[in-house]
Amino acid sequence: MSDGSSQTGVTYTPVEAGYFEKRGLKRHARFWSLWALGVGAVISGNFSGWNLGLAVGGFGGLLLATLVITVMYLGLIFSLAEMSPALPHTGGAYSFARSAMGPWGGFVTGLAENMEYVLTPAVIVFFMGSYLSAIFGTPPEAQPLWWIGAYVVFVGLNVSGVALSFRVSVIVTVAALAVLAFFWVSAVPQLDLATHAFNIPPAEGGSTFLPFGMTGVLAALPFAVWFYLAIEELPLAAEEVHEPQAHMHKGLIAGIVTLIVCAFLTLTLNTGIAPGAAGLQASSEPLLDGFRTLFGESIGKILALFAVIGLVASFHTIIFAYGRQIYSLSRAGYIPTALSITHGERKTPHVALVAGGALGLAVLLVIWFIAGAERGAAFIGGTLLNMAVFGAMLSYLLQALSFIMLRRKLPNIHRPYVSPLGIPGAVATIVIAALTLAFQLSDPAYREGVIGAALWYAAGIVYFAAVGRHRLVRSPEEEFAMRQQAAD
């Protein structure tokens, strides 16, 4: 049977008996689990990654970029807080876009999110390896062993069951916040912005506050994203949440408020002590550098071991996200349906979890061994990071567009929560996401990342055009969209 194939170019395929029984999930989460999942997914951005924006924007440029990106995320999160209880499906971004823009819109949105969620854990585990290598004094050549070990452990935890996965998320998220709070309180007595935050020499035409001028603000946008990247994963947990209509929007809003506080405290207090902006601008472990300043080398290393918890929190929770994201696209036939089979007893998408982890780890290892340790580290910490940001920005733009289209196309669907920012908030998200994308496209420093993202996209589009669009399945997301289309 077809779903208007003359208009959409897709065909729905009947599935065997028991298809959805083999792809079942188990409900477990409520508000606190959702809050921990959202905050945990992002919290590593306070430990590594953000500081690379100092090299292109200085403290002032990164501060202003963070303000701009905060506005973008507020617009996005309030849009998701409205859409996710109204469309409580595991597909998240894909399902919103599918209902708003049809199968092709759903696929290109899901593909952008897929790039973000597969590559982000790879970047995080790279930073984990940098921290652990610095703490234990292992040689750079041994970093891949840290990566392999981390993937094996945390993919295994996610496969073990949704209850354990959420329980670990809560524990490591609270522990990571405790480490950050300890750092903030310890840093206050040594805070000296004039001496440390403004210690990057101004370029021609720059100032102490903006050493690279206003262009530095634009250049810092992709790195400011690291303070919030992946908070938007919460809708992917919709089918594993008790009463998503009651809890989903609350988890999203509480999560973004928590992250805003963390972002500005970390940016100010980590940069405002020695070694300052100049010393942190190329660091793979900025919080460790801060602990060294506060407590000395030996004690700083012990404290930094606790700081790894923040990276663990994000690594663990984004593994959860890519597992559900691959699962939802697979269950609906957009990608091979074998990827959506769930574990018989545990009801976790174990095939998707293993496949996504294998792909992320493979990307890391190929880059590392082809480019070598030094150049590979620079590529992973910069180019791969920007590929993840590129996928995120494209996904945000399409999700905000979906919000606007759903407001107009489906005005009468039940919305348990209505965004106070409405369409203007979604428009702000689109404008800022497009600005970040445009700067990535125009800046040679990010061009390799954009090329890599384009190749990822091209491979996905070719597969969907040749195979996937002819094998779609009437999953919950698809059924909802088709019912609404018929009623429209």
Q: What is the pLDDT of residues 17-35, one digit of tens each?
A: 999 999 999 998 889 999 9
C-alpha distances (whole Å) from 263 to each of 97, 182, 305, 445 are 29, 15, 21, 25
Structure token digits, residue 161: 């069951």
pLDDT value at 372 more than 70: yes
Lowest-confidence pick of 92-101, 113-122, 374-383, 410-419 = 374-383
Say how far apart CA 182 and CA 188 lie, in whole Å.
10
Q: CA angle at residue 374 from 373 to 379, to 5 degrees?
A: 95
Q: What is the DSSP string of 136-189?
A: HT--GGGHHHHHHHHHHHHHHHHHT-HHHHHHHHHHHHHHHHHHHHHHHHHHGG
Q: What is the tens place of the pLDDT at every residue in 423-464?
A: 999 999 999 999 988 877 766 666 777 787 888 889 999 999
Phi and psi at residue 48, in whole multiples of 5°?
-160, 155
Q: What is the tens place of the pLDDT at every residue in 179-231?
A: 999 999 999 999 999 999 999 999 998 999 999 999 999 989 988 998 999 99
C-alpha distances (whole Å) from 262 to each of 54, 282, 444 are 18, 21, 31
pLDDT top residue among 299 and 146 = 146
Contact partners, residue 103, CB within 8 Å, separation at least 6: 3, 8, 9, 10, 334, 469, 472
24 occurs within a structural domain: no
Q: What is the mean pLDDT of the chain?
A: 90
pLDDT value at 3 more than 60: no
Q: What is the pLDDT, as a whole number, of residue 302? A: 78
22 occurs within a structural domain: no
Q: What is the pLDDT, as a whole number, of residue 350? A: 96
Which residue has 């077809």 as its token pair?
2
Query: In which band, very low, low, confident or very high, does the pLDDT at 1 lie, cut at 50, 70 and 90?
Result: very low
116 occurs within a structural domain: yes
User: Average pLDDT in the 259-263 region?
Assistant: 98
pLDDT value at 6 more than 60: no
Q: What is the DSSP string of 453-476?
A: HHHHHHHHHHHHHHTGGGSB---H
pLDDT value at 279 more than 70: yes
pLDDT value at 174 more than 60: yes
Q: What is the tens place of the pLDDT at every residue in 405-424?
A: 999 999 989 999 999 999 99
Q: What is the pLDDT, as a whole number, of residue 5? A: 45
365 occurs within a structural domain: yes
pLDDT value at 42 more than 70: yes
Q: How many residues does the chain have?
A: 488
Domain count of the chain?
1
pTM of the entire predicted model: 0.92
10 occurs within a structural domain: no
Q: What is the tens place of the pLDDT at every residue in 52-66?
A: 899 999 999 999 999
User: Average pLDDT in the 334-351 region?
Assistant: 94
CATH number of the domain that residue 306 is part of: 1.20.1740.10
Look up the domain containing 411 and give its range: 29-468
341 occurs within a structural domain: yes
Structure token digits, residue 211: 């050493």
Q: What is the tens place of the pLDDT at every residue in 459-483?
A: 999 999 999 999 999 999 999 888 8
